[in-house]
Amino acid sequence: MEVKRVVITGLGTINPIGKNVPETWKNLLNGVSGADNITRFDASKFKTQFACEVKNYDYKEYFNRKEARKYDLYAQFALIAADEAVKDANFNLEVLNLDRVGVIWGAGIGGLNTFVSEISDFAKGDGTPRFSPFFIPKMIANIASGHISIKYGFKGPNFTTVSACASSASAICDAFNYIRFGKADVFVSGGSEAAIDEAGIGGFNSMRAISTRNDDPKTASRPFDADRDGFILGEGGAALILEEYEHAVKRGAHIYAELVGAGMNADAYHMTAPDPTGNGACNVMKLAIEDAGAKYGDVDYINVHGTSTGLGDLAEPKAIIKTFKEHAYELSISSTKSMTGHLLGAAGAIEAIASVLAVKNNIIPPTINHFNLDPEIDSNLDFTFQKAKEKTVNYAMSNTFGFGGHNATLLFKKFNQ
């Protein structure tokens, strides 16, 4: 069947290196690290005492007290990112067919802050059950997509994808397909996460998944470096407006790029570790390229998952070489997690924005904090270490892989009418 074209007409974010898209893009190109000592709680007894927090966040800049009572921090980030994206898309909500505008959001965990707070308060009490009436609706992972739809009256398909760190990329894949097959005209899609609390840091510490480089937080996220010791926990939200091409043209929308391919699959290997052969990652990249009807040699840039973990940073380069063969040495690679940290369920969305802007502006953001390349990683690959690089980017790929073996890949193309 003939499918419809899908374009990107709006972007929005709040994250550790920017409270909007222009600030984020500037800091990505300048190699700014979002890592610093944790301010949300006393982390002095934890193995990791730093994270990539949203800097100087004050809910009162965005919500009144009554509203804020109803929103977990992850939902606040979702609403802030969505609002920037909706405004950026410049919709006339008076004439937009709201029945054909949907929201598909991603969250790996959901309202962890709310869960930790409510259970901690109960544990400190005398056993009498005193829970907030907002406890459950603030905690559940789907509530952010609900709040976005309620705010704007968007009545199209509405749900949340939960696939760990691939959640928001999976959400964008789903939104892409709904539009392609004529089920909606517009989607607000992306993800948000807010897991920087005692449970989040403590849980990842117990897994030995996050860095413990407390003496030097800003250089702790070291993708592909021989001395990497885990990722840095990040937080925030990111939203993209996906729109059917003819619908966008008809209303004179500004188009950033075209989303032309998407792939999703599973490693079916291990609960937290990637398949060391890179087969799952290889196959999901192939799915996205084939879905787009593109050629392997068309891809100019890959925003890699690149978490700064021991196993993941070995498997993904292998997968890239296996997928692209000789072309792997001609394309550019970078991990923007080296700057933003790992936004978990929001990672795919913030990295999709970086990929879209790379296509739009013909600039590759860097992988910072490179000191010594892991000898097991092919040194002939172009990881765009330390400095951004100007390069014509006609196709940009974004890879996102999650615990449980969930893989999602997006392929963006420079927009041509």
Q: Which of the residues are catalytic?
A: 165, 305, 342
CB atoms within 10 A of CB 122: 15
Q: How far apart are CA 77 and CA 200, in angstroms?
A: 17
Q: How far apart are CA 108 and CA 402, in angstroms?
A: 9
Q: CA 404, 197, 86 angle in degrees (round to 5)?
A: 75
Q: How far apart are CA 298 and CA 209, in angstroms?
A: 34
Q: Which residues contact 103 (CB under 8 A, 6 or more apart)?
A: 82, 145, 148, 149, 154, 156, 157, 158, 187, 188, 189
* DSSP state at residue 272: S
- Whether the CB-CB separation of 291 and 263 falls below 8 Å is answered with yes
- Whether the CB-CB separation of 308 and 228 falls below 8 Å is answered with yes
Which of 305, 374, 384 has its CA nearest to residue 342? Answer: 305
The torsion angles phi and psi of 96, rounded to 5 degrees, stand at -65, 135
The backbone region for 294, taken as left when phi is positive above 0, alpha when psi lies in -120 to 50, beta otherwise, is beta
Q: How far apart are CA 297 and CA 328, in angstroms?
A: 9
